[in-house]
Amino acid sequence: MLQLNHQNNNYECSGVNINELANQFGTPLYVYDAATIKARYHKLKSAFSGIRIRLHYACKANANISIMKLLKSEGAGLDAVSIEEVQLGILAGFQPHDIIYTPNSVDFSEVQQAVALGVRINIDNLRILEQFGMQYGNTYACCVRINPHIMAGGHAQISVGHIDSKFGISIHQLRHVLRLVELLNIRIEGLHMHTGSDILDADVFLRGAELLFEAAVQFSELDYLDFGSGFKVPYKEGEPATDIEETGQKIAQVFSAFCATYGRELELKFEPGKYLVSEAGLLLVRANVVKQTTSTVFVGVNSGQNHLIRPMFYQAYHRIQNLSNPEGATRLYSVVGYICETDTFAYDRKLNEVREGDLLAIFNAGAYGFAMANQYNSRLRPAEVLLLDGQAHLIRKREDLDDLLRNQLILSL
């Protein structure tokens, strides 16, 4: 987890003064640490020894082009779930064959656009697979996303491989897949599975692997198997996380054994998003008001669910720290936003005494923070800064009123 070093009444990260950063760029402000992102990437990749492994960054977690370029420079491929993410990936410098496009519930025309761009196609729908075969036959390879019917993850909304999920083709429909492949001469280059997020137990991956291996032997021309992702990161001090080394060792062992049975060495793919960038991010906010009520003390900050919706959407825990008063007495607060909606970042949280104007850091904000930000209440989205080699680089400007008006056509009434 990203750590802030306290020196001379200020906090520092990767050689950059965080308090001064807030003064320089204003708040709210997203701050990402490149060193943490790189460390997470290499830790995950090195956990799978003895096999061919490729990590594709799931850019839905944070689609800033500079973040994409950083991970590309470390050797990552890209996982995209929309044609727009594909286009951003190409702008970031990824070669089309290094991009896996895994949409769901899209019109076939979007798949056609992806084929025209030359990226890898991952299909999770029998009707789309049928259309794909009708148009492309064996002239363009594709991957098939299997739904293994495994409940995984810490929250219903982040478990995507269960029987009621909209994602993937049911493992029980494999016979239908094989019929389409045979009748339409479809070239299948990979099989894909993703069960959910916040997975602690390596055995969840292994159960899915067994199903994927059973399916894979029925396809003779595979180049890779894609296990999706789902590695859990800690949000609280001392909270458990996925044991990457143990998970990597177990999966590498069974994958090697399968390749020997299959008759040739396949590539194992993973699509980490949150694992790579979540812990690398901070959201810096200012306390606008400290409001005593009959039941609690609220700290109202200059941000809200329009900038970080995870606490409201997933009931997600994000550690909060007062950077302006680190020696202050510990008090109990509920931290809330400035949106005309219930947008509580934290209930009954112990913080060093908060005063109006204090700078607060919200941790684990690198994934699904800005990516899910919006302009509700006509509020503006914040700036983003990347800490790289001891320097702070502005990688997205703060929005202004022109951004709210950019696409509006105002009638003369």
Q: Note the pLDDT tens digit of each residue in 312-369.
A: 999 999 999 999 999 999 999 999 999 999 899 999 999 999 999 999 999 999 999 9
Q: Hey, which residues are catalytic here?
A: 340
Answer yes or no: is pLDDT of 151 > 90.
Answer: no
Chain centroid, CA 28 distance in Å: 21
pLDDT one-digit tens code per residue, 42-52: 999 999 999 99
pLDDT, position 209: 87
On the question of pLDDT at 150 being above 90, the answer is: no
Measured between alpha carbons, how far is 106 from 233 in angstroms, rounded to an integer? 30
- pLDDT for 139 equals 97
Q: Which CB contacts under 8 angstroms, 24+ apart, belong to 398-407?
A: 398/25, 398/26, 399/375, 403/375, 404/375, 404/378, 404/380
Element (H, E) at 101: strand 99-101
How many other C-beta atoms can be found within 10 angstroms of the C-beta atom of residue 45?
Answer: 19
Residue 158 has pLDDT above 50, yes or no: no
pLDDT value of residue 207: 85
Domain edges within the chain:
5-32+280-405, 47-277
Whether 152 has a pLDDT exceeding 70, the answer reads no
Q: What pLDDT does 363 receive?
A: 97
* Superfamily for domain range 5-32+280-405: Lyase, Ornithine Decarboxylase; Chain A, domain 1 (2.40.37.10)
pTM for the predicted model, two decimal places: 0.94
pLDDT at 74 over 60: yes
The per-residue pLDDT for range 169-213, each reduced to its tens digit, is 999 999 999 999 999 999 999 999 987 656 767 778 888 889 999
Q: Name, in order, each residue with C-beta under 8 angstroms of 375's C-beta and a sequence gap of 6 or more.
A: 306, 381, 399, 403, 404
The DSSP 8-state label assigned to residue 307 in this structure reads T
Q: Quick check: do 5-32+280-405 and 47-277 share a fold?
A: no
What is the spatial distance between Cα 29 and Cα 286, in angstroms, rounded to a whole number? Answer: 10
Which residues make Cβ contacts (< 8 Å) with residue 195, sequence separation at least 6?
148, 150, 151, 152, 153, 159, 160, 161, 204, 205, 208, 228, 230
Q: Above 70 in pLDDT, residue 9?
A: yes
pLDDT surpasses 70 at 161: no
Indicate if the pLDDT at residue 238 is higher than 90.
no
The reported pLDDT for the residue numbered 200 is: 65
Length of the chain: 413
Give CA–CA dist 387/395, Å, rounded: 10
Supply 166's token pair. 């909209």
**Residue 308: its pLDDT value, please?**
98
Share the mean pLDDT of the chain: 93
- Alpha helices, H only, 264-331: 274-277, 310-313
Determine the pLDDT at residue 155.
47
Both tokens of 111, joined, read 């798949």
CA angle 151, 142, 150 (to 5 degrees): 5
pLDDT on residue 159: 42
Pairing mode of beta strands 16-17, 10-13: antiparallel
- At 173 the pLDDT is 95
What is the reported pLDDT for 197?
Answer: 59
Q: Name the DSSP class of 43.
A: H
- For position 236, what pLDDT does the model report? 85
Per DSSP (E only), the strands in 307-382 are 320-322, 330-336, 344-352, 359-362
Provide the CATH topology of domain 47-277.
Answer: TIM Barrel (3.20.20)
pLDDT of residue 163: 63
Find out whether 2 and 282 touch, Cβ atoms under 8 Å.
yes
Mean pLDDT of 57-70: 98
pLDDT over 80 (residue 268)? yes
Query: What DSSP assignment string belongs to 61-96?
Result: S---HHHHHHHHHTT-EEEESSHHHHHHHHHTT--G
Buried b (16+ CB within 10 A) or exposed e, 176-215: ebeebbeebebebbbbbbbbbbbbbebebbeebbebbbeb
What's the pLDDT score for residue 195?
A: 74
Q: Kindly tell me if the per-residue pLDDT of 264 is higher than 90.
A: yes
